[in-house]
Every structure is written in structure tokens, then in C-alpha cells.
Structure 1
Amino acid sequence: MNLKIYGLFAGALIVSVSNAEAQQAQFQKPQAFSRTTQQAQETTQQPQKQTRQDVVATVNGDAITKTQLQAKLQTKLQGSQVNPQVAEQFKKQALNELIEIMLIEQHVIDHGPKVASEEVDSVMEGLEQQLQDQGISFSTYLDSRGQSKANFKKSVKGSLAWQKYQREKVTPTNLRAHFQNNRNEFQVEKFEDAQQEVIQSYMASLWGDIIDKQKSKSEIKVINHTSPALPQKSQNAVPNGVPR
């Protein structure tokens, strides 16, 4: 898997918690795809009941909503304006990323390290308090993400499980073995000279292995509704619209 794409994908598993919570979880937080509470406040919506028309895809019965896809498009386009053909390509990329993220989430919940309900509740309570302090209701925050409370709680559990999974797998022994088995990829003689590259490459390989296994046994349905509206160009938009 392309390392840049892996880095973008991995960020989507990270729930929007405070910096203190992220540090407590000891998880490196990629910038792409995380939505802050400030963004939630800026995208305040009235709570709406999810309908069949809101769902753009399902992965083993778990729904991906239009709002989630729209948020991903906003991240990828960063407010830039593109022609319809390019926009459609971005939409397909965004949806594929969301599908892969959900496959990873489902895998680590079912087969990865155990996550106690108390751990999930702690993150949920911390986030609710953070939102309350900023005058944002939890239901409004969930609406801005296009998720129900149950689905969001599952995402929190998946995020925590993924963090634990990384800590289990990224060991000096595994990294050195990956370096030895893929020396041509790094073009250096010593492991010490390519540690960061080895970590990224090793995690990308783990990600790709899970996706390959999950896709072969999963039921993935893409529902062709009207495409979500493209984000409007903002005054602070990044000119080239390059994904972070």
C-alpha cells in the first residue's frame, strides 16, 4: 500500500478527543481526517433521524453516511474548487477510505486486543464534558459527524483497539525483521538509518494485510444516491487542494 495513503487512512480511526486524551492513549495522531470540537461547533445542525437515503454504503451491515462522506471530501478538497470529473474521483477515493477504515475497525474489535467498556466510557465522558464546556450538545456533535451514539461508541472502541494493536505489533524485533525482509525498499545498510521509514512501511503492511483478509469475507454494499454537495470554497482555502 502507498505509505502516504496509509497515513491518511490511519488518521480516520482516531476519534476527536482532546490533546490530553490523545496523549494518555499514547497514540500518534495524524492530522488528516480528525474533526475537532471547533469544527463540530462550526457545522452545527439540528438533530435529524437517520434514514435509508442518508446511507451511502454499508460494511457488514454497518452504515457509512452522506455526512461522513461529505466530511471526508471537505478534508480532501480543503475548500478548493474542482471540476465534476475530478470531484467524482475524490468522492470515490473518500468512500473507499471510509470503507477500509470500517474494515480495520471491525477487525481490531473482533480479533484485536480487548478494550474494556470502562475505557470506552472514559473517552466518551471526557469528550461529552469537553463539548459541554464549549456549549455544544453531544447530539449536535454526533449529527455533525453523521453518526449515531452507538456507532460513535463503536468507533471509539475501534480506535482504542487499533492503538493497542499497534503497540503490540510495533516491536524492535518485528521492525528489524521487516527491515531485513525488505532491504531493497529502504536503500540503506543499517536499520538505525531508516527507523521511521521502517515503522511506516511495517504499519502499512499490517494495514494492507488486514484489508485483504477482511475484504475477502466481508459484505460491502455501495448505495448510489445523489452525490453529496461539494464543499464551498472558503476564504482560507488551500489553493491546490492537496490532501493533508
Structure 2
Amino acid sequence: MDKVYEKAYEKVIDYIESNILDGHFEVGDKLPSERELSQMLSVSRNSVREGIRILEVIGVISSQHGIGNYIADHFDKTLVQVMTMMYALEKMTYNEIREFRYAVEFQAVVLAMDNISHEQIEKLKANLEMLENSADEEEQVMSDKMIHYTIVEASGNRLVMANYLALAKIMDNFIRETRSKIMTNERKSMTFQGIHRHLVEAIFNRDLELGKRALDEHFVYICKNMDT
């Protein structure tokens, strides 16, 4: 691919990007046809197709055969996929991921205290009850994850959620065995359940200090049990 061609399809990408940033294109808007873009930007139809194909791959555009190209509305899913791969490709260490995930979850706790819905509160209660009372290890692990996910969801911030989901996928590779070891050790499991109860109670009571302490306990406890 020569430099002239690269500049041509980048011109298409830049045009669409600038129109999104300026607010001229919004989710669901139909783009000008390939012929119109070709004439407007003084590039070939092939360059237009290449630019659109790249934007479709990264999730900015949704192409509907025979109908046209539209600004996509699956931002969250695309962002999670891209971020997950980038975190993996960067070969980040467990500590880097843990530190960033802590920051994301702490922000989620802060926001959730103001934004959590009644339905989400009930979901937290149900998952805490399952975590504390289920004898099934898989159910306990799922309840643990759902408590954190529900708090992040309750933040109401899509960037917080996208970062959390991407980080959680990567972090699971580090802590899957650790979590299982904790759940199968009665004493450790009781401690872990208590930490989650403190976290849930912090949300109910709008107690930010308790929430921070519970998150500190959670991440320290996971780290302490990584190699035991």
C-alpha cells in the first residue's frame, strides 16, 4: 500500500472523525454515499471503502448491505473489546492492572452512592446473600463478580464500566486460581465474605470511608493470597 493511498483513506477517516467531534454526525446518522464522499474528499471509491471498512472494524460505523453506512450505537461493547486487547498487548503487570482497577472501582463506589437504583440495591443484597450462604464454589465466585459489577453499573458512567470490564477480563487471568483457593478455604472464605458485606453496606449507608476501607481490604486480601 503506497503513501498516496494511505493518505487517501485517512482523509475519509479524518472527515468522519471531525464530523463526530463537531456534533454533525450522531449515533444512527446515515453517512453520505461512497460516491458523494469520493467527490467531496477528492479520493477514489476504493479509498472511501477502505476508510469505512477500518471504521467498521473498530466499531464506529455499522454497514448495512444495500442500505448504507451509519454511525454505530454499540460504543460500550467496542470500547471493552479494544481496551481488553490493548491491555493484553501491552503485557501489563498484575500490579499495574490492580492499581488501575482499584482507581476505577473506587470512582464507581463514589458515583454509585448517589446513582444506585432500588433494583440495583436488591441485586446487591441477593448476590451478597448467595455469596454468604451458597455451598457451591461457582455460585460464590459468580456472586463475588456480580457484587463488583453491580456497583460499577450503578455508577452510571459508561467509561468507568468499560474500563472495569476490560480490566476485569485481564485480571481474571491472574486471580482465577486465587479466588478458588479462597472460596474452598472456610476461614479465608468467611473473611472474604465479610469484606464484601462491608462494601455492600457502605453503598447502602452512603459511607464513603467504609467503602474505601472495604476496597482496600479486598485488594490487599487478594494480593496476600496470590502465592499461598
Q: What's the TM-score once normalised by structure 2's chain length?
A: 0.31
Q: What's the TM-score once normalised by structure 1's chain length?
A: 0.29
Structure (1 or 2) with the greater helix fraction = 2
> Which structure has the larger Rg over C-alpha atoms?
2
Work out which structure has the larger RCO, using CA pairs closer than 8 Å and 6 or more positions apart in sequence: 1
